[in-house]
Amino acid sequence: MFDTGKFSRLARVSKRTLRYYDSIDLFKPQTVDADTGIRYYSAEQFADLNRIVSLKELGLSLDQIRRMLEEDVSKEEIYGMLLLKKAEAEQKLLEDIQRLRSIEARLQSPELYLTQGVVLKSVPEQPILSYRNVLTGEKLLPLYQNILGKVPILAGRKNVSHFATLMHWDEFDMESMDAELGFYIPKRLDLRVELSEEVVLTERMLPAVDEMASVILVGGPERYPAGLEAVTRWCEENGYDINKPERYIFLEMPPDGNPDDTIIELQFPVYRIHSDPQSFLTTAK
Asked if 204 and 142 sit in the same domain, the reply is yes
Residue 273 falls inside a structural domain: yes
The confidence score (pLDDT) of residue 280 equals 46
Q: Which of 26, 86, 77 is nearest to 59 (CA)?
A: 86
Asked if 186 and 60 sit in the same domain, the reply is no
The confidence score (pLDDT) of residue 281 equals 46
- Per-residue pLDDT of 78-95, as tens digits, reads 777 778 878 888 888 887
Q: Are 41 and 1 in contact (CB under 8 A)?
A: yes
Asked if 61 and 119 sit in the same domain, the reply is no
Q: Are 56 and 81 in contact (CB under 8 A)?
A: no
From the number of C-beta atoms within 10 Å of its C-beta (0-12, 13-18, 19+), residue 99 rates as: exposed
Domain final residue pick, 49, 73, 97: 73
Asked if 48 and 173 sit in the same domain, the reply is no
Q: What is the CATH number of the domain that holds 58?
A: 1.10.1660.10
Residue type for position 51:
R
Domain that holds residue 168: 111-278
Asked if 138 and 69 sit in the same domain, the reply is no
Asked if 117 and 140 sit in the same domain, the reply is yes
The confidence score (pLDDT) of residue 20 equals 92
Asked if 41 and 134 sit in the same domain, the reply is no
- In DSSP terms, which residues pair with 119 in a beta bridge? 214
| pLDDT under 70: residue ranges of the chain | 73, 101-116, 149-160, 254-258, 275-285
Query: Hey, what's the torsion of the CAs at 179, 185, 190, 196, to 10 degrees?
Result: -40
Residue 242 falls inside a structural domain: yes
Residue 190 falls inside a structural domain: yes
Residue 284 falls inside a structural domain: no
Alpha carbon 232 to its chain centroid, in Å, reads 25
Asked if 261 and 137 sit in the same domain, the reply is yes
Report the alpha-carbon distance of residue 283 to residue 159 in Å, rounded. Answer: 50
- Per-residue pLDDT of 198-243, as tens digits, reads 888 899 999 999 999 999 988 777 778 888 888 998 999 899 999 9
Q: Are 186 and 106 in contact (CB under 8 A)?
A: no
The confidence score (pLDDT) of residue 158 equals 55
Say how many domains are in the chain: 3
